[in-house]
Amino acid sequence: MTSKRIRTIEELGEFGLIDRLTAGFSIHQESTKVGVGDDAAVIDHGSYYQVVTTDLLLEGIHFDLVYTPLRHLGYKAVVVNLSDVYAMNAAPRQITVSVGISGKFSVEALDKFYEGVKLACDRFKVDLVGGDTSASVTGLLITVTAIGTALKEELTLRSSAQNHNLVCVTGDLGAAYMGLKILEREKQLHTADPEFQPELKGYDYVLERFLKPEPRVDVLLALKEAGVTPSAMIDISDGLSSELLHICKSSDCGVQVYEERIPVADETAKAAGEFQLEPLVAALHGGEDYELLFTVPLSDFEKVSAISGVSIIGNITDQKGKAFLVGNDGSAIPLQAQGWNAYTDSE
Amino acid sequence: MTSKRIRTIEELGEFGLIDRLTAGFSIHQESTKVGVGDDAAVIDHGSYYQVVTTDLLLEGIHFDLVYTPLRHLGYKAVVVNLSDVYAMNAAPRQITVSVGISGKFSVEALDKFYEGVKLACDRFKVDLVGGDTSASVTGLLITVTAIGTALKEELTLRSSAQNHNLVCVTGDLGAAYMGLKILEREKQLHTADPEFQPELKGYDYVLERFLKPEPRVDVLLALKEAGVTPSAMIDISDGLSSELLHICKSSDCGVQVYEERIPVADETAKAAGEFQLEPLVAALHGGEDYELLFTVPLSDFEKVSAISGVSIIGNITDQKGKAFLVGNDGSAIPLQAQGWNAYTDSE
């Protein structure tokens, strides 16, 4: 048989699917500067840019209400979108929030969700300007669109990393993934024995990282104060490996990062140990950290080094599309995207 | 018992629920001109306004894939959002489209959906600039956000109807609802007897109105050419009664419309007859027509009368919050919102 085999959604993966579905679309509007393919779309308003990003969050796929308080979910649903706006080096301004709700939800449950939305709106000074509500056949579904603005000279795409640039990340990685693993473990124990009381003491850090992520506005402000504009930036939602590969693809470059430089919190390493998991694996492939991954020119080395909460983990290379992890023994291992994939992940 | 009874989502209804959930939110951004409560939010960009609107479309609630071709669904999902942009007297510029898809969908099925999205994008010159894709637990869910721009002097809210203004609608009403009724009838006959062949001949008009609605850009252009800017405008998605009451509430006014003036197509009346339904009921309470309902000053009577595809159906009154239908016998019947309500509708 030589006929072209039809590819399945699983084979294509999320990014392959998006590439395929949006391939034939043309641009009609002068104001459209960047369409599909960055953290956010970019609209030109003459003296400044506007960025627009949107996310779907579905019960049973992206969250489990057994261990996710609705207030936290409301906060997180907003924050993960703001994180995409910040990753463009833009300031969020407005959001819309739409919810589909099945019969099992009370008005009070929705009140709790919107308390979390409001907390995020007040903290990050964004306005809830619209949305839609509907009944749903099963469970809760949430979709948030966030809009922000950026000065033209400050907008930071994924596509502008340059050879020899330093590769930096904020905070530490893998914590949110270990928070999820702990919650899943306790849920399973509780399901097996309803008398079992979940034991979450001592896991505060990783649980908070999963349930209530915070966008790294602090680091963006510090960079601005230091006079540093990243050459490229992306937020880490699917895991470091996946995001490094996005930058390589968009910027048509390569990257190498050093195992010993990848920041992992002690609590994350301890939790990983309980699952016989290498902390590095959680850092590379665990998602939902919502830290920032960015590149800066070598000349900014000292300025960036002085900012607390930033780790320089490697550098951009000219080996197009290739991302390597340099191990502590000097070996170079090719990185692959094994981030959370809602199409194939069995967890 | 004197304690406050907790209200259910069904009792609140969609608009009551939105009012409740968004009540405590404050506005932080100077650029936010209109938040929740019109066809679209309005963002101030100095020399012009930008409008933003979003809709959820859920399988089993808003559409039935048994009789909705995916290509039509893609087109309609975009168009219903563009209709909200046009209802602000704005021009659509960009959209984002997010889809959640269960395992039953093939890549080819999604291709068809995006063909419809592309057709709408090309026809109305809007750019697909982003979105999200995800697995879903059940069925297909779609969420579209549309962005447009309006000249400041042309933006048309729901809230600016004035006493004695003429009330106008475009096209004819109730057709989409009858199209849905026909499709539901044929589906039920087919379910009862799989040998049964659906008979859709002779229903082309009402079926097309339901499956492939078209926003009334033509009338907006004609109004512009005639030098008429509506004082208030809304698109008819939930039924004429419901939209009239929205204008009354937002503009703090009343309205009366005349039975004999409400435009109903012959095909709609004929289909209604088959269901022993008054055509007027379909026109008042059937949804998804996506025609425009707008008000103009009395002084524009002649200009508006000369535009084909516009019917003057009544006038704004000072009886705040009261909407009346004046029957052919001279009786005045209070109108109530009985539009499609995804929370309570059993159909």
What pLDDT digit, counting tens, does each position of A145-194 carry? 999 999 999 999 999 999 999 999 999 999 999 999 999 999 999 889 98
Is B79 in the same domain as B227?
A: no
pLDDT of residue A15: 79
Q: Which residues of B touch A122 (CB under 8 A)?
A: 26, 28
> CB–CB of A6 and B107 under 8 A?
yes
> CB–CB of A61 and B26 under 8 A?
no
Distance in angstroms (rounded) separating the CA atoms of residues B222 and B139: 41
Could you read off the pLDDT of B83-119 as tens digits, one per residue? 999 999 999 999 999 999 998 899 999 999 999 999 9
Nearest CA in chain A to B117: A25
Could you read off the pLDDT of A201-232 as tens digits, one per residue? 899 999 999 999 999 999 999 999 999 999 99
Q: Which residues of A touch B106 (CB under 8 A)?
A: 6, 8-9
Residues spanned by the domain of A258: 166-334
CATH assignment at residue A309 = 3.90.650.10
Per-residue pLDDT, averaged over A295-309, amounts to 97
Q: Is B84 helix (H, G, I), strand (E, B) or coil?
A: helix
B112/chain A closest Cα distance in angstroms: 10
Which pLDDT band, with edges at 50, 70 and 90, does A13 fall under? confident
> CB–CB of B126 and A28 under 8 A?
yes
The DSSP symbol for B125 reads: T
Per-residue pLDDT, averaged over B34-60, amounts to 93
B286/chain A closest Cα distance in angstroms: 18
Distance in angstroms (rounded) separating the CA atoms of residues A182 and A2: 48
Q: Which residues of A touch B53 (CB under 8 A)?
A: 130
Of A36, A143, A343, the CB nearest to B128: A36
Q: Is A287 helix (H, G, I), strand (E, B) or coil?
A: coil
Is B136 in the same domain as B183?
A: no
> CB–CB of B114 and A26 under 8 A?
no
Of B43, B56, B94, the CB nearest to A100: B56
Q: Over the Cα atoms of chain B, what is R_g?
A: 20
Is A147 in the same domain as A172?
A: no
Distance in angstroms (rounded) separating the CA atoms of residues A19 and B1: 60
pLDDT of residue B8: 77
pLDDT of residue A345: 38
Q: Which residues of A touch B120 (CB under 8 A)?
A: none
Query: CA of B151: how far to CAs of B40, B51, B302, in Å?
Result: 15, 11, 25
Mean pLDDT across chain B, nearest whole number? 92
Residue A2 lies in a domain: no
Q: Which residues of B touch A137 (CB under 8 A)?
A: 58-61, 138-139
> CB–CB of A107 and B12 under 8 A?
yes
Residue B344 lies in a domain: no
CATH assignment at residue A69 = 3.30.1330.10
B28/chain A closest Cα distance in angstroms: 5
Mean pLDDT across chain A, nearest whole number? 92
The DSSP symbol for B192 reads: H
Could you read off the pLDDT of A107-147 as tens digits, one per residue? 999 999 999 999 999 999 999 999 999 999 889 999 999 99
Is B131 in the same domain as B189?
A: no
Is B124 in the same domain as B147?
A: yes
Among residues A233, A222, A232, the alpha carbon closest in space to that of A305 is found at: A222
Q: Which residues of B touch A22 (CB under 8 A)?
A: 114, 128
Of B32, B106, B135, the CB nearest to A343: B135
pLDDT of residue A344: 38
Is A208 in the same domain as A254?
A: yes
**Does position A23 have pLDDT exceeding 90, yes or no?**
no
> CB–CB of A134 and B61 under 8 A?
yes
Type and span of the H or E element at A209:
helix A204-211
> CB–CB of A21 and B114 under 8 A?
yes
A247/chain B closest Cα distance in angstroms: 18
Per-residue pLDDT, averaged over B39-59, amounts to 95
Which pLDDT band, with edges at 50, 70 and 90, does A86 fall under? very high
Which pLDDT band, with edges at 50, 70 and 90, does B12 fall under? confident
Distance in angstroms (rounded) separating the CA atoms of residues A106 and A123: 26
Q: Which of B151, B174, B203 is the last residue of a domain?
A: B151
Number of neighbours of residue A100 by Cβ within 10 angstroms: 27
Residue with tokens 């430089």: A261
Which of B62, B98, B129 best probes binding to A when mutated, by most A CB atoms within 10 angstroms?
A: B129
Residue B143 lies in a domain: yes
Query: Alpha helix (H) ranges present in B23-163?
Result: 70-86, 107-124
> CB–CB of B133 and A22 under 8 A?
no
Residue A159 lies in a domain: no
Is B209 in the same domain as B272?
A: yes
> CB–CB of B135 and A52 under 8 A?
no
Is A118 in the same domain as A35?
A: yes
Is B65 in the same domain as B141?
A: yes
Residue A296 lies in a domain: yes
Is A129 in the same domain as A239?
A: no
pLDDT of residue A38: 84
Q: Which of B117, B151, B185 is the last residue of a domain?
A: B151
Is A98 in the same domain as A172?
A: no
Query: CA of B238: how far to CAs of A4, A70, A160, A213, A306, in Å?
Result: 45, 30, 46, 38, 58
> CB–CB of B121 and A25 under 8 A?
yes
SS in 3 state form for A233-286? EEECCCCHHHHHHHHHHHHCCEEEEEHHHCCCCHHHHHHHHHCCCCHHHHHHHC
> CB–CB of A143 and B143 under 8 A?
yes
The DSSP symbol for A100 reads: E
Residue B25 lies in a domain: no
Could you read off the pLDDT of A230-260 as tens digits, one per residue? 999 999 999 999 999 999 999 999 999 999 9
Distance in angstroms (rounded) separating the CA atoms of residues A235 and B165: 52
Residue B14 lies in a domain: no
Distance in angstroms (rounded) separating the CA atoms of residues A296 and A312: 10
Residue A113 lies in a domain: yes
SS in 3 state form for B226-294? CCCCCCEEEECCCCHHHHHHHHHHHHCCEEEEEHHHCCCCHHHHHHHHHCCCCHHHHHHHCCCCCCEEE
> CB–CB of A53 and B143 under 8 A?
no
Q: Which amino acid is at A70?
A: L
Q: Which of A92, A119, A151 is the last residue of a domain?
A: A151
B42/chain A closest Cα distance in angstroms: 8
User: For the sheet containing B254-258, what is the strand order?
Assistant: B232-235, B292-296, B166-170, B310-317, B254-258, B323-326, B332-334
Q: Which residues of A touch B31 (CB under 8 A)?
A: 93-94, 149
Kindly give the interhelix angle for B204-211 and B175-192, rounded to the nearest 10 degrees.
100
pLDDT of residue B184: 95
A140/chain B closest Cα distance in angstroms: 11
Is A234 in the same domain as A171?
A: yes
Q: How many domains does chain B have?
A: 2
Q: Which residues of A touch B98 (CB under 8 A)?
A: 54-56, 143
> CB–CB of A9 and B93 under 8 A?
no
Which of A32, A62, A118, A129 best probes binding to B when mutated, by most B CB atoms within 10 angstroms?
A: A129
Per-residue pLDDT, averaged over B116-124, amounts to 97
> CB–CB of B27 and A127 under 8 A?
yes
